[in-house]
């Protein structure tokens, strides 16, 4: 019959620590409690010295990593874009647009011949432009990124059937007065 041992034998690491003190590196950190109890017994003989675990352990051991805090976003506050529209018909057709949610960075529109549209830089998101275009009987405005039509932030269109019959859509002209945009078309 085999006898079952109730106490496990001391391992090779444990016997080395028991026989002579080991430095606090490598595997000795695993049995730091046993090592520190031996030091405490030695220090009890010297009552003039206080026991301090800090001077026997490594400073990096079990050190908590500092938390990284993200800085708040520095972007300008993005407000929703709201547009009040009105259409006036007289000798000329006029569309009056009043926007809220961004500021104009210039006082006048530039005309882009290739797309037959007017644009103006605005303070909305980085490098944003308001673009006004008429195509047949549809007037549309867009808030684009960098003068291109690929990245739109906002877009809306107005259907005006009179642009095909009474007024000439190619005579479109845009002006900015008191933060109101006036788009005008002449009669045919």
- Structural domains in the chain, CATH included, are 12-55 (no CATH), 82-186 (2.60.40.790)
pLDDT tens column, 34-74: 556 666 666 565 555 555 655 555 555 556 666 665 544 44
Instruction: Please indicate, yes or no, whether the overall pTM of this predicted structure exceeds 0.75.
Output: no
Q: Which of 6-15, 43-52, 76-85, 115-124 has the lowest mean pLDDT?
A: 43-52
State the Cα–Cα distance between residues 143 and 121, nearest whole angstrom: 9
Percent of the chain with pLDDT over 90: 36
Q: What is the pLDDT of residue 125?
A: 78
- Residues ≥6 apart with Cβ < 8 Å to 159: 137, 138
State the Cα–Cα distance between residues 53 and 20, nearest whole angstrom: 19
Q: What is the pLDDT of residue 184?
A: 95
């Amino acid at each position: 019959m085999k006898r079952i041992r109730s106490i496990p034998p001391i391992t090779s690491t444990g016997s080395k620590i028991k026989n002579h003190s080991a430095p606090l590196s490598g595997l000795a950190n695993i049995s730091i409690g046993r090592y520190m109890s031996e030091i405490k017994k030695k220090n009890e003989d010297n009552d003039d010295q206080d026991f301090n675990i800090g001077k026997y352990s490594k400073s990096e051991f079990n050190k908590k990593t500092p938390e990284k805090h993200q800085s708040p976003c520095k972007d300008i506050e993005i407000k929703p874009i709201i547009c009040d529209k009105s259409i006036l018909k007289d000798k000329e057709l006029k569309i009056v647009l009043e926007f809220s949610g961004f500021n104009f960075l210039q006082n006048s529109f530039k005309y882009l011949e290739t797309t037959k549209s007017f644009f103006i830089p605005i303070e909305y998101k980085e490098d944003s432009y308001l673009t006004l275009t008429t195509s047949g009987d549809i007037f549309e405005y867009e808030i684009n990124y960098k003068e291109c039509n690929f990245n739109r932030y906002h877009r809306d269109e107005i259907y005006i059937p009179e642009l095909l019959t009474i007024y000439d859509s190619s005579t479109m002209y845009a002006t900015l007065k008191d933060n109101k945009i006036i788009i005008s078309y002449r009669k045919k």
